[in-house]
Structure 1
Amino acid sequence: MTAGISRWLFCVLATGQALVADDVVVEEWPHFLGPHMNATTRETPLLEKWPEKGLEVVWEKERGEGYACPVISNGRLFYFHRLDRKETVECREPKTGELVWSFAYPVEYQDRYGFSSGPRSSVVADGDRVYVAGVTPQLHCLSADKGELLWKKDLAKEYEVPQYFFGYGPTPVVHGNRLIINVGGKVSPEAGGVCVAAFDKMTGKALWEVEDTWGASYASPVVAKIRGKACALVLAAGESKPTHGGLLTIDAETGEVYDRFPWRAKKYESVLASSALIIDDTRVFISECYELGGVLLEFDESRKSKPLWKQREFGMHFMMPIEKDGYLYGFAGRNPPDTEFKCVDLKTGEVMWTKDYRWKREDGQIEGLFRASLLQAGERYFALGEDGLFTELELSPEGSKELQRTRFFTAREAWTMPSLHDGLLYAVQNTVDGQSGKKRRLICYDLRPEALRSEAERLEPTQ
């Protein structure tokens, strides 16, 4: 999961300024949260001014059900969805969409709330292997070059994982030789099962297991150093009466549990779906949108946490907030229309400002960003709204300014975070487009500056 710099000899931007190799940064996107596990990438430069007619579509493909994010690694794009009654992993050429291989297996699952019956988690790419955990859940390890099955585990059967509200959801994370996953097995108020496990990524053998009653949430684990020690930060929260859940801080190497911080609404139909945001070696931000909001935790030398502040008005439903220059930015709230874009002082938790990104169209209909996904690329900030609006924003503690806006599609449930690699942006349309009538699609948009686009056609970058 290493970053790379694309090395063109040089090219000239529209401004006439020469662009040398050190000015062009390309990073892989091996996990749905990006190369740094926080919705950020160092990718630069990108197209400054978007065409009036919208970003150019490089390619698009009809797709099946699910909310997975495409990931890109070693010159391949990997995508996970449900076609007919099979969960399917596809490997495609990132620049053309051409299918390289596919791997599928039968699955029986019906969402009891009427949402998509496809997978919630995304592929994880790691060198010559890819990993994927389905909605039932079944865990597979495949070869990245040919899609050959290397090993698999039926987590539902092995660990007695219940269906939960929306099926199984968290995406695994790779750390060294370990594949760490919020299993959420055999959960009951009285006795827990294996809540979190680390498997040998080469064989699938369990290396350590953590038993807990908290279960599996819809937030994906992340690994970061806390007080100098690599820790798995797992927001665990399954379906339970009474509700329980929160942040488990676990030694990524040994499975030792350092800390257990409860953070879950009392409401039965509530989930944790926004992954932990690592601020630094001692501070972590977590949130939920139903009752408690957000909290900034500080860890002592024993890696025990204490809240520095709590902010009820800054709770994310599923998006990852962005930290910039000592402030947090995020689309806080549970459902439209109560979701608003907010800025919070990282030191105090004070809400600096609130902005409602909604507009009235010419036909009188209201559109907006609502529970949008934020994406930082270099020093630029983008948001994909949940009905297909895509914007660039300027962020500061004084306020937010919309720099430009375009519409990718008009379709609800655009809850999948977009991915960005080599100047190409990949967005997922999860329902039928209400204007064009086009079915669910995986769409590649061109965000490359014209000069780099022309140069890329002549010279392939090396990573």
Structure 2
Amino acid sequence: MRPFLLFLCAFSALHAGDWPQFLGPQRTCTASDEPAITGSSEPEIVWKRMLGSGHAGAAVSKNRVIVTHRQGHEIVTEALDAADGKPLWKQTYPTNYRDSFGFDNGPRAVPCIAEGKVITHGPEGVVQALDFDTGRLLWSYDTVAEVGSPQGYFGRACSPLITEGKVLLNVGGKNAQGGAGIIALDLATGKLLWQATDDEASYSSPILVPGDPGVSAFFTRRGVILAATSDGKILADDFFRANIDASVNAATPVPCGEGRLFFTAAYDVGAGLWQWNKAEYKLTNLWKKADTLDAHYTTPVYHSGHIFGLHGRQETGMTLRCIDVAEGKVTWEASDHLPGGTLLLVGDKILLHSETGELWIFTADPKKFNLLQRTQITRAGHRSHDAFSNGLLFARDAEKLVAVKVK
């Protein structure tokens, strides 16, 4: 079976409106098969569920919400009913992770749902496969013990990508067999299938190259990496990171049409657009520019030839920007000194969940910023990417998950 068909088996066979992994069905920050949002009425909180610590957003499949968080010295993964938030099952394992900078000690990586399994990746480096129906542990893999994954600044944060029966992760490791910056685990057994690169881990998660799903794209601490999903062979790489050590690459690569990939980082790195030639197996940089869209941690949204994202460092305040992807030109800028937040696209509306806990709804208009709605939905202090399924936004803060009806 061809890689694209395998990818469809993993995700597209799920129910319409599902959000089964980080950034949605195709990892594009985009909801599929959803009713249009007008932004004319205030969003309504349908239910709340108290959680422990963490920045890991939810995944949604078959009217079931999967969320992972930390309570005491345990990492907790729960399945909740999407309609009312009632618990369906819970699985735990012990953790001793402690953030080096005294920030949140909970998980950062969003669970991934595929082929009847839930794959989680904890901040201490443990990868687990759970049965989607029951929560039963199927296998566990310790990336620290097996491939020497380092803690880095803020623990392990890569959200698993499942394709061709493999779990792909950016872990920054190294063992007796060599570099293990990127690894692939067997989805059925948890066995290590391949390892590649000496690159340190970033806080970005991989995607499949648009138009060539047999190739995966990573944004490691060093920069842009394209790898063959089948065996981990490195097909292309390009240095793209800050000159200072105290920096991170965190935004996930953004697909921008056939073979086109947009990468962005803060710390004076900027943004760039790359073109993958499937026939020639060649990666070409089309442009790189500083001070265009320098994303600190938020993955931008692509819509109709334009990128919408948060520009600047969280500590000093961000601005909303829209840029023309082909030229790397800023078409508008709005809302100075935002503290940060995360984005997703529903139809032609963009939902921004700010770090202050507000939900902003604005149009994906390349000509101007048009804010339709602004509502408080959570407490301040989150950095988790939300999920959107069947008209509900699933958002979390430092203490709870909320399901919000957006119209």
TM over 0.5: yes
Match of 1:185 in 2: 173
Match of 2:349 in 1: 380
The percentage of aligned residue pairs carrying the same residue is 28
Which whole-Å deviations, capped at 9, do the CAs of 1:259-307 have from their partners, x for residues lacking one? 0111110111111110001112321110111111101112234333232
Whether 2:195 is the aligned partner of 1:216: answer no
8 Å Cα contact 2:207/2:217 also seen in 1: yes
Match of 2:17 in 1: 27
8 Å Cα contact 2:348/2:363 also seen in 1: no
Q: Single out whichever of 269-278 and 379-388 deviates more from structure 2.
A: 379-388
Q: Where does 1:87-98 land on structure 2 (aligned, <5 Å)? A: 87-98=75-86
8 Å Cα contact 2:43/2:404 also seen in 1: yes
8 Å Cα contact 1:162/1:185 also seen in 2: yes
Where does structure 2 lack aligned partners over 5 or more consecutive residues? 1-10
Secondary structure at the residue paired with 1:156? helix
Larger Rg: 1
Match of 1:39 in 2: 29
Match of 2:303 in 1: 324
Match of 1:137 in 2: 125
Aligned length: 394
TM-score normalised according to structure 2 size: 0.92
Whether 2:290 is the aligned partner of 1:309: answer no
| CA-CA distance at 1:371 after TM superposition | 2.1
Match of 2:136 in 1: 148
Q: Where does 1:289-308 land on structure 2 (aligned, <5 Å)? A: 289-300=266-277, 301-308=279-286
Where does structure 1 lack aligned partners over 5 or more consecutive residues? 6-25, 238-244, 359-368, 431-439, 449-463
Whether 2:29 is the aligned partner of 1:2: answer no
One-letter amino acid of the counterpart of residue 290, structure 2? R
Q: Where does 1:42-441 land on structure 2 (aligned, <5 Å)? A: 42-46=32-36, 48-49=38-39, 51=41, 54-186=42-174, 193-210=179-196, 212-225=197-210, 228=212, 230-237=214-221, 245-300=222-277, 301-313=279-291, 314-357=293-336, 369-412=338-381, 414-430=382-398, 440-441=399-400
- State how far apart, in whole Å, the 1-side matches of 2:193 and 2:302 are: 34
- State how far apart, in whole Å, the 2-side matches of 1:428 and 1:143 are: 24
Q: 1:410 to 1:153 in 2, by over 3 A?
A: closer
Match of 2:405 in 1: 446
One-letter amino acid of the counterpart of residue 185, structure 2? F
Secondary structure at the residue paired with 1:356? strand
8 Å Cα contact 1:162/1:186 also seen in 2: no
| CA-CA distance at 1:336 after TM superposition | 4.3
Match of 2:3 in 1: none
Secondary structure at the residue paired with 1:396? coil
8 Å Cα contact 2:63/2:83 also seen in 1: no
| CA-CA distance at 1:224 after TM superposition | 2.6
Secondary structure at the residue paired with 2:364? strand
Q: 1:91 to 1:110 in 2, by over 3 A?
A: same
Structure (1/2) with the larger strand percentage: 2
Q: 1:398 to 1:50 in 2, by over 3 A?
A: closer
One-letter amino acid of the counterpart of residue 209, structure 2? A
| CA-CA distance at 1:428 after TM superposition | 0.4
One-letter amino acid of the counterpart of residue 111, structure 1? D
| CA-CA distance at 1:62 after TM superposition | 1.2
Q: 1:398 to 1:49 in 2, by over 3 A?
A: closer
Secondary structure at the residue paired with 1:158? helix
TM-score normalised according to structure 1 size: 0.81
- State how far apart, in whole Å, the 2-side matches of 1:183 and 1:49 are: 40
Which whole-Å deviations, capped at 9, do the CAs of 1:153-198 have from their partners, x for residues lacking one? 11101111111100111011000211111121139xxx96211111
8 Å Cα contact 2:255/2:302 also seen in 1: no
- State how far apart, in whole Å, the 2-side matches of 1:445 and 1:225 are: 31
- State how far apart, in whole Å, the 1-side matches of 2:33 and 2:336 are: 26
